Structure 1
Amino acid sequence: MSWKLALAPLALWAGCALAQGATVALDLRAAATVRGKDVLLADVAAIEGADARQRQALGAVRLGPAPLVGYAQDFSRAAIEAAVLARPLAAGLVLDWRGAARVIVRRAGTLVAGSELADVARKGLAARYGREYDEIELTPVGTVTDVQVADGRLELRPRETAGPLRPRTTAWIDVLVDGAVYRSVALPMQAKAWRTVALARRSLPVDAQVGADDVRLVRQEVLALAGQPAAAPAVGEHWRLRTAVAEGEVLLREQLVPTGAIRRGDRVTLLVTAGAIRIESAAVAQEDGVAGAVLRVLPAGGEAVVKARVIGTHLVAMDEN
């Protein structure tokens, strides 16, 4: 074995001993700004001495979570020293603490303009309700303030809105940083929507039959209406009204008797089946009912009401026992 090979382990041991006993200067800053979600030693102190690998390992020591944007967090020298000494990598090092006695840490942030939030809210609501109306107008209620969020990959994501569009609605925007929701913003919005509706050409009483000639079509703002406007009847189609409608009033779905429904007082055909025998007789409905519902009817010439199921237009049947 050559003398060079014999001395190699000794030189390696001497180098390790020197690194372990090296003095590391840690110069704390009075203030620091971090960009990540954690506060690291390298964020708050200048590290000198030892070797590059040890300085890198020391710099990666986590001191705690970063504060929210717009807030500050105070790290004392004692707390920082305790966090470093708790790591095995600090064993054998001589730490020379210098600089500030405490560090004020803030988190770097990005400002999201209120106008950008409002634009995302408008697009989200338009995508949700646009197919239901000919035109939609969406305006923020008041001034939309700017929002500060942490630095990172930014995404503004509108939430799905449930229920019908109303004159006053709230749009929620989730602000994501690096794929995680950082905060959520609520934006009150004033909404208007236009649709073609059917207006009564004349006053129409309860139970009136309404056809295409009884209405005229106009384009109107509809969110202020008391209910959902009804579609215009096709040529040859007739509606039946459950409430009276004044001239010029928009016909609403709630004012129409559903197709196949029976109203109290309607004359109906009552079917009674007994085995192979089927009997039809006239009756008068004593209450309202839609297809499939069971209601009370009074057979013609009878004195007692019976229960029957609605099976068609003006057609009911007694269930077999």
Structure 2
Amino acid sequence: MSMIAALRLQIFLLAIVPLLCWLAVPAVAAPPVQITFLPEATVQGETLHLRDVARITPEWRAEEWGEIALFQVPDYGSVRTYRAQTLKAYIQQQAPQEAEVAWKGAEHVRVRRDGVIIAQEDMVQVVNDFLRERLDRPEITSVSFEPGRLPQAFTVADAKWECEVVPSSSQVLSARRFTLLFRRHGRLVHKVSVSGRVRAEAEIVTARRNLDRESIVQASDLRRESRQLSRLDDPVYEASVAVGQRVVRSVRAGEVLDRSVLAAPILVQRGKPVTLEAVRGALVITASGVAQEDGGLQETIRVENRRTGKEIFGTVVSADTVRVRF
């Protein structure tokens, strides 16, 4: 045998002998996937996965097997119990056919969906916060919500929710029901209705003495008192608003002074002569007229032009003067 042939044989033997030795060694089987069911699990998503209810080993198989989807999770705050045998059947349907699995752990798994409980006191607090924001006026000294019948507590996904409050009346003080719209990321997740009564107190103006109809209000006729606002329509909060105004109906001592009983003092009386004034730029034309009704400052009344006998409308601008158009 030549030297070259001998060298080639030696190289071949060096390569083939280790390969033959490796083939002669029995193959070592991969370790089985061990799934250990947990007795309890708390989840947050919409779907229950294997990683939520079991511990998976070896670790390098945990990520792949953990993604196996099982069931839809229960409602927020509620609990559902699953039999391990049921979970096992679902897992086997999706697991690789050749995989060997060792099953361990609890025979039943209690699954609870995580969430934030909105209790009845939370609903009342939401309404109170809404009222304080809407009725944030200097004259109002206190405001609160006295609930009637409250809905049962419920659960939302997490604390990242917003609530819109819709009162049953545009007059918030007289509202008897408030609808709470709970939203998460702009999507409505729950709606409840809360009934009750709004309690608000404010410093308002009352009559110190009896005020006769058509009398002019003086500062000495008034005083400020703290009163409940719930049943008041449009009370006067500052005495300066009422002083100098005319009372259109009688007001008893101690009665709350409402804006509806006040009017501008009469400057023009029905049947009395008035000056009709027409203005256009620098041009001013006057004529004699007769008021056909009483009128206060800036009120529109009917007047008669004495020269033509024609009845027209005009605006009271001062004592015995009515401005008309021409």
- Normalised TM-score (structure 1): 0.65
Structure 1 residues 290 and 96: alpha-carbon distance in aligned structure 2, compared to 1, 3 A threshold: farther
Q: Which has the larger radius of gyration?
A: 2
Shift in Å, 1:220: 2.1
Count of residue pairs brought into register by the alignment: 294
Residue type of the alignment partner of 1:114: Q
Match of 2:251 among 245, 260, 266: 245
| SS of equivalent residue, structure 1 residue 250 | coil
Q: Answer whether contact 2:289 2:303 (CA < 8 A) is retained.
A: no
| Residue number in structure 1 paired with 2:3 | none
Structure 1 residues 238 and 34: alpha-carbon distance in aligned structure 2, compared to 1, 3 A threshold: same
Residue type of the alignment partner of 1:94: A
Residue type of the alignment partner of 2:137: R
| Residue number in structure 2 paired with 1:190 | 197
Q: Answer whether contact 1:171 1:186 (CA < 8 A) is retained.
A: yes
| Residue number in structure 2 paired with 1:135 | 141
Q: Answer whether contact 2:263 2:296 (CA < 8 A) is retained.
A: no
Shift in Å, 1:229: 0.9
CA RMSD of aligned residues (A): 4.9
Q: Are positions 1:37 and 2:45 aligned together?
A: yes
Please list the CA deviations of residues 82-107 of structure 1 after superposition, one character each: whole Å capped at 9, or x if unmatched.
Answer: 9x73xxxx557526496899977431
- Give the distance between the partners of 2:289 and 2:89, measured in 1 at CA: 93
- Give the distance between the partners of 1:63 and 1:287, measured in 2 at CA: 83
Q: Answer whether contact 1:77 1:101 (CA < 8 A) is retained.
A: no
**1:90-129 correspondence to structure 2 within 5 Å:** 94=99, 96=101, 105-129=111-135
Structure 1 residues 277 and 53: alpha-carbon distance in aligned structure 2, compared to 1, 3 A threshold: same
Structure 1 residues 47 and 96: alpha-carbon distance in aligned structure 2, compared to 1, 3 A threshold: same
**1:195-210 correspondence to structure 2 within 5 Å:** 195-200=202-207, 201-205=209-213, 207-210=214-217
Q: Which runs of 5+ in 2 are unaligned?
A: 1-13
Shift in Å, 1:62: 4.0
Q: Answer whether contact 1:209 1:239 (CA < 8 A) is retained.
A: yes
Residue type of the alignment partner of 2:56: I
- Give the distance between the partners of 1:181 and 1:264, measured in 2 at CA: 60
| SS of equivalent residue, structure 1 residue 56 | helix
**1:134-173 correspondence to structure 2 within 5 Å:** 134-142=140-148, 147-149=153-155, 152=158, 154=159, 159=164, 163-170=170-177
| Residue number in structure 2 paired with 1:47 | 56
Match of 1:230 among 221, 236, 253: 236
| SS of equivalent residue, structure 1 residue 166 | helix
- Give the distance between the partners of 1:166 and 1:266, measured in 2 at CA: 44
- Normalised TM-score (structure 2): 0.65
Q: Answer whether contact 2:267 2:297 (CA < 8 A) is retained.
A: yes
| Residue number in structure 1 paired with 2:223 | 216
| SS of equivalent residue, structure 2 residue 135 | helix
Q: Which runs of 5+ in 1 are unaligned?
A: none
| Residue number in structure 1 paired with 2:5 | none
Shift in Å, 1:253: 1.0
Shift in Å, 1:305: 1.3
Shift in Å, 1:239: 0.6
Residue type of the alignment partner of 1:59: G
| Residue number in structure 2 paired with 1:312 | 317
Q: Identity of paired residues, percent?
A: 19
Shift in Å, 1:159: 3.9
Shift in Å, 1:41: 1.8
- Give the distance between the partners of 1:32 and 1:223, measured in 2 at CA: 51
Shift in Å, 1:25: 5.1
- Give the distance between the partners of 2:34 and 2:241, measured in 1 at CA: 91
